[in-house]
Amino acid sequence: MLNWLYQMEHLFAIHETPIEDRLDFCVFFLKDEALVWWQWLQKQKGGDVTWPELCEEMRLQFRPDELDDPMTVLANLKQMGSVHDYHKAFIKLAYLVDDTKKNLISLFTWTERRYEAEGEA
């Protein structure tokens, strides 16, 4: 669902869609659990939901539980298979962390060194 939201935001940026026009367009494409959730949210807010509120509420509702603290998950990430698989898992979490590129690179290499050290033990 979060990928869908990202795609919607990207689409709106490309077409320079005004904020006030985004909500109705997106709601039209909601299905299943997301549509039921939208109906509940609208009822809770008295029918008055803005696009920024929808985005924030959607991120909170559909974010995987393990991403409540992505930096901790990142710090504890272990390479269990190939470096490629580890890198994919790292990137999936890294974009959620507000940190500098230098610190993320350091964290990436630190977890790699930790994995190698554990493998030698």
DSSP conformation letters of the chain: -HHHHHHHHHHHHHTT--HHHHHHHHHHT--HHHHHHHHHHHHHTTT---HHHHHHHHHHHHS-GGGGSHHHHHHT----S-HHHHHHHHHHHHTTS---HHHHHHHHHHHHHHHHHHHH-
36 pLDDT band (50/70/90 cuts)? very high
* Higher pLDDT among residues 101 and 5, named by residue: 5
- Band (pLDDT 50/70/90 cuts) for residue 83 is confident
**What's the pTM?**
0.56
**What is the rounded distance in angstroms from the CA atom of residue 84 to the CA atom of residue 106?**
17
Task: State residue 2's pLDDT score.
Answer: 73
